[in-house]
């Protein structure tokens, strides 16, 4: 079987998982976006990064041993994802990382942290970027309307798209505009960033969000996308473990499958990781009876891959409450 050149926009020529994950991060759309009326904007584009026509050349020029050593510092996907952004912003042709995990305090009380500060080489004004990588499964029945973000929950049942979106919108992104943050950033940026002036940051600082990931739709029940979802967001499917035989019967007989292990839930693995379902699914299905498992299937007939979460039959064991309404 001839291996595909690209899966999810990432070439299989890179054998190092970190390089594939970096490429996936650059080409993968966010799962949600703020409305045009919002003061917050989305992720830095490939053009802003200086990687519109140079992604592969840039990846080939990275120092693999050093990158791999830094990438293995954390097995937690959220931390690993942030580390990838640090590398991307600090080494992309048109950006420079100024700081990350900047703690904002007031009277010795921590108000929060700013994920990252960066600036473009052609625009010195600093940018506050919050990042999150999320994999949410949609509930055909649940809180709110059919398009409610509260119906999209994490595989562990502790988080929801609605909770994350509201926390970013109400707290994380506005934090850099508060007086304590302005004082902290002014003190930190003044000696080293040309975008800072004697009058302070003022309106120079902008807030942006990058939230790549995958939305998994129920395999047997039609469900609309959540409110605010980007048109091109990555999609997968999910099923209960007892439904797997029925779902498998709809797939081509020669489909291949591989198990995705944290923190490498981002880019597809190299093609040699995909095996016939008969060789790899029995232990995976046994694990899925107790904990949700993410797999990727390869369909040779059209040379495409599809993500799938297989979850226990009693999933979800819990559904997070919707975020509280802000007082008027």
pLDDT in tens, 105-121: 888 888 999 999 999 98
Q: Is residue 144 scored above 80 in pLDDT? A: yes
pLDDT of residue 125: 85
The CA angle 126-129-133, to the nearest 5 degrees, is 165
> What pLDDT band is residue 328 in, cutting at 50, 70 and 90?
very low
b/e string for 268-279 if b means 16 or more Cβ within 10 A?
A: bbbbebbeebee
- Which helix (H) or strand (E) segment holds residue 70: the answer is helix 64-71
pLDDT of residue 185: 86
> What pLDDT band is residue 152 in, cutting at 50, 70 and 90?
very high
Mean pLDDT of the chain: 89
For residue 232, give Cα distances in angstroms to 31, 42, 140.
8, 14, 21
Q: Is residue 192 scored above 80 in pLDDT? A: no
8 Å CB contact between 97 and 89: yes
HSE-up (13 A, CA, CB side) for residue 157: 11
DSSP 267: S
Contacts of residues 121-126 at CB distance under 8 Å and 24 or more positions apart, as own/partner, are 121/50, 121/93, 121/94, 121/95, 121/96, 122/94, 123/195, 124/193, 124/194, 124/195, 125/195, 125/204, 125/205, 125/206, 126/98, 126/185, 126/189, 126/193, 126/195, 126/196, 126/201, 126/204, 126/205
Helix (H, G, I), strand (E, B) or coil at 183: helix
283 CB contacts (<8 Å, ≥6 apart)?
none
**Where are the extended beta strands (E) located within 12-63?**
none
Sequence length of the chain is 328
Q: Pick the more confident residue, 255 or 124.
A: 255
Q: Which residue has the tokens 């140079």?
A: 54
pLDDT of residue 190: 55
Q: Considering the entire predicted model, what is its pTM? A: 0.93
Helix (H, G, I), strand (E, B) or coil at 235: strand
**Cis omega (within 30 of 0) on the bond before 263?**
yes
The two three-digit tokens of residue 122, written as one number: 């052609």
307 CB contacts (<8 Å, ≥6 apart)?
214, 216, 234, 235, 236, 237, 260, 294, 295, 296, 297
Q: Is residue 63 scored above 90 in pLDDT? A: no
pLDDT tens per residue, range 8-59: 999 988 888 889 999 999 999 999 999 999 999 999 999 999 999 889 999 9
């Amino acid at each position: 079987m001839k291996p595909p050149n690209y899966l999810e926009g990432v070439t299989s020529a890179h054998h190092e998982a970190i390089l594939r994950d970096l490429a996936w991060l650059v080409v993968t759309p966010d799962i949600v976006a703020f409305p045009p009326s919002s003061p917050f904007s989305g992720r830095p584009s490939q053009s802003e990064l200086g990687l519109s026509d140079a992604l592969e050349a840039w990846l080939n020029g990275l120092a693999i041993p050093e990158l791999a050593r830094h990438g293995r510092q954390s097995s937690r996907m959220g931390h690993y994802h942030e580390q990838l952004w640090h590398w991307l912003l600090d080494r992309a042709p048109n950006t420079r990382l100024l700081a990350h995990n900047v703690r904002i305090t007031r009277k010795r009380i921590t108000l929060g942290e700013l994920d990252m500060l960066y600036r473009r080489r052609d625009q010195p004004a600093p940018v506050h970027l919050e990042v999150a990588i999320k994999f949410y499964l949609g509930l055909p029945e649940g809180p709110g309307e059919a398009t409610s973000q509260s119906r999209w929950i994490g595989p562990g049942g502790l988080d929801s798209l609605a909770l994350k979106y509201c926390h970013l919108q109400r707290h994380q992104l506005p934090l850099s505009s508060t007086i304590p943050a302005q004082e902290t950033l002014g003190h930190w940026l003044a000696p080293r960033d040309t975008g800072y002036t004697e009058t302070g940051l003022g309106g120079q600082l902008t807030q942006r969000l990058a939230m790549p990931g995958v939305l998994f739709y129920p395999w047997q029940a039609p469900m609309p996308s959540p409110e605010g979802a980007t048109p091109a967001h990555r999609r997968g499917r999910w099923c209960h473990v007892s439904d797997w035989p029925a779902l498998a019967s709809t797939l081509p007989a020669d489909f291949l499958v591989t198990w995705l292990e944290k923190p490498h839930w981002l880019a597809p693995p190299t093609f040699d990781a995909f095996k016939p379902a008969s060789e790899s699914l029995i232990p995976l299905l046994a694990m899925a009876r107790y904990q949700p498992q993410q797999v990727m299937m390869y369909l040779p007939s059209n040379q495409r891959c599809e993500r799938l979460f297989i979850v226990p039959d009693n999933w979800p064991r819990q559904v997070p409450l919707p975020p509280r309404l802000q007082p008027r």
